[in-house]
Amino acid sequence: MGLARTGALTLLALLAGLAIPLLATSSNLLGMFTQAVIYAIFALGVGVLLKQNGLVSFGHALFFGAAGYGMGVVLALGWMPAEWAMLAVLLAIGVLAFLIGLVIVRVPGIAFGMLTLAIGQMAYLLASRARGVTGGADGLSVNWPPTLFGLPQSLLLKPATLFVISWVLMVLVTLALVLILRTRFGAITEAIRDNEERARFIGFATTVPRALVYALSAVVSGIAGLLSVFNTGFISPENLHWSVSAITLLMVVVGGFKRTLGPIVGAILYFVCKDLLGDWATHSMALFGAALIAVIVFSPDGITGALARLRERLRYGPLKKGSPP
Amino acid sequence: MLTIHLFNGLVYGALLIVMSSGLALIYGLRRVVNFAHGALYMLGAYLGYSVAQHSNFWVALLLAPIIMAVVGVLLDRYGFRLLQDHEPLNVMLVTFGLLLILEDLVVFIWGKTNLSLFTPDLLNFSVDLLGNEVPAYRLGVIAVGAAVALGLTLWLRFSRIGLFVRAASTDPVTTSMQGVNTDALSATVVGLGCALAGLAGVVAGPFLSLSPHMSSDVLIDSFVVVVIGGLGSLAGAFIAALLLGMTQAIGAVYLPEVSVLLPFMFMTAVLIWKPSGLAGSRT
């Protein structure tokens, strides 16, 4: 899709984001939407790694939580104002992820998943034990300053404002990902994903681009982590547990990882369903497990993949004998 | 005091031997990393609890693994076999979905409170070991672990089916071309693997309490064991299980902060240095 069309859709998305708080009256509903959007950004991070590198990470909660802990520690130590701290934390996450990526992206298949699981659990255990720095199992309060970017906290913490900020960030992150992946860099990483050996034979360095994608996915997850810790003002080791990564992965797979919007669809569906379930909410995980199994068996591309195929079928009709390929 | 810690490490190591051998067998034959293995362990434990409520521990010890074996056969026939052409990652996610379902099922049937499976009267005494008092039951656990390790090794090495299992783990296509019914074989092995998980659950009951969390605690440790030992290798899993049990028991006392990280550091190192065990020797 052309640049103009992308721009138009982005604008539409931004406007929709501004409209939603006007339609959703209850602040609980808005709060739930905000959480959904934050996890949508997190899912985008996990999804871009799966989409561009073909790598499944069970440990991305590390970056989600590291952002929160990073902010908590930096603000507690008072090294720099919150605005700069956010940038610094994201930069640190990016660099750390790049270095980790350089080592681990060469590990193939399931081994990579297990590796990310191990790394994620190490981070979880470190956060649970290091009482001095991270507050241990009790978690850490993040003391945001009274004003951020000149806006007072009272305004920023209103449910509507939180939602709009999260939504705008989600749209901008999606746009950034779409644009980055449309460049030559995106094409190279897709080639490496499809056949690493052949890409190497053609002459591409295959480790650095994949590590860059890993770093990108980490930064996106970090952005979600920052938003989350701004939303709640608190971070605990539970945010780093592998189950958090796994559930986000679930959102990505159910939504469909092959399309950029897939993870967003998955995340929003997860939260909406959890909310709609009401009394049945205790069984929500079983239902998501069943949904995951159903999706993988019947439509490994996820919901967005199924919708895309439906659209193709409606547009072109089922393949008939003798029709052009 | 050290002997007690080493002993406890041996006990947990024995439990991990039973768990991880099931995991290794299932991977060897179906190339599936069974995320649901911890949940199967938990299901076995809870089933054992229910059976023990109506009769006694020994009946539970016999019945729960049998029920889990049936579950395993069904899992293979209607799960792994139908998904065998899918990417391994997809099947792994399916087992994760199964984990979620099973965890919810256990809470739904048995509730969230911690339950206790009581030590059977026959083993409810203390034994003097090198000057320390140890519960006889724990000696029993070590015995079970040793029996499983020995039994599996002998079975794989000397029996006809064991030969088929080894062959199918190495090259399933050629093995089936030779006339071995690899589907029936896989069902048997997955059933056995799940039975082992169930056995581990019942055995663990009296000395670890039953809770909905028990599946994730033991799952990660089982993964660590199986990765460090080499995903298809049983002998490696046995050694790694004992090592892990020991490191955790000793480390918890002397080096608490670091000891929990050691298994994962090892796992990371193994995966980075030699992922070939997991990447699938099957091309």
Just give the CATH number of A3-316: 1.10.3470
Ordered DSSP codes for A177-196: HHHHHHSHHHHHHHHHHH-H
Contact A113 B92 (CB under 8 A): yes
Q: What are the structural domain ranges in chain A?
A: 3-316
B235 within domain boundaries: no
> What is the pTM for the complete model shown?
0.87
Cross-chain residue pair B88–A121, CB shorter than 8 Å: no
Asked whether residue B279 carries a pLDDT value surpassing 70, the answer given is: no
Nearest neighbour of B98 by CB, restricted to A122, A250, A289: A289
Closest of A28, A15, A10 to residue A162, by C-alpha: A28
Number of structural domains in chain B: 1
| pLDDT tens for each residue of A98-107 | 999 998 888 8
Tokens of A193: 């994903």
**Confidence band of A264 (pLDDT split at 50, 70, 90):** very high
Q: What is the pLDDT of residue A97?
A: 94
pLDDT at B55 over 90: no
Q: Which of A114, A243, A249 sits opposite B227 (nearest CB)?
A: A114
* A249 vs A266: CA distance, rounded Å: 9
Best of B23, B84, B104 to substitute, by most chain A Cβ atoms within 10 angstroms, is B104
pLDDT tens, B138-195?
A: 888 899 999 999 999 999 889 988 888 888 888 888 888 888 888 899 999 999 999 9
Check residue B70 and give its pLDDT.
94
What is the distance of C-alpha B68 from the center of its chain?
12
Contact at CB, B92 and A109, closer than 8 angstroms: no
B224 belongs to a structural domain = no
Asked if the structure places residue B277 within a domain, the reply is no
Between B277 and B208, the higher pLDDT residue: B208
Domain housing B76: 14-215
Give A115's contacts in chain B (Cβ within 8 Å). 267-268, 271-272, 275
CB contact under 8 A, B271 and A115: yes
pLDDT tens digit string along B24-39? 899 888 888 899 999 9
**pLDDT score recorded for residue A11:** 83
**Tokens 């603000």 appear where?**
A75
Inspect the interface and report whether the beta carbons of A286 and B265 lie closer than 8 Å.
no
User: What's the rounded mean pLDDT across residues B37-49?
Assistant: 91
Identify the closest residue of chain B to A289 by CA–CA distance.
B97
Instruction: Tell me if B71 is assigned to some domain.
Output: yes
CB-CB under 8 Å, B98 with A293: yes
Encode pLDDT of A11-27 as tens digits. 888 888 788 777 767 77
Tokens for B69, please give them.
């074996």
pLDDT of B101 reads 92
Q: Which ipTM was obtained for this model?
A: 0.85
Tell me the range of A43-47, A117-121, B115-119, B204-208 where mean pLDDT is highest.
A43-47
Contact A56 B100 (CB under 8 A): no
> Quick one: pLDDT at residue A301?
83
User: Could you please report the per-residue DSSP string of B231-245?
Assistant: TT-HHHHHHHHHHHH
Interface test with A, best of B32, B78, B91, B93 (most A CBs within 10 A): B93
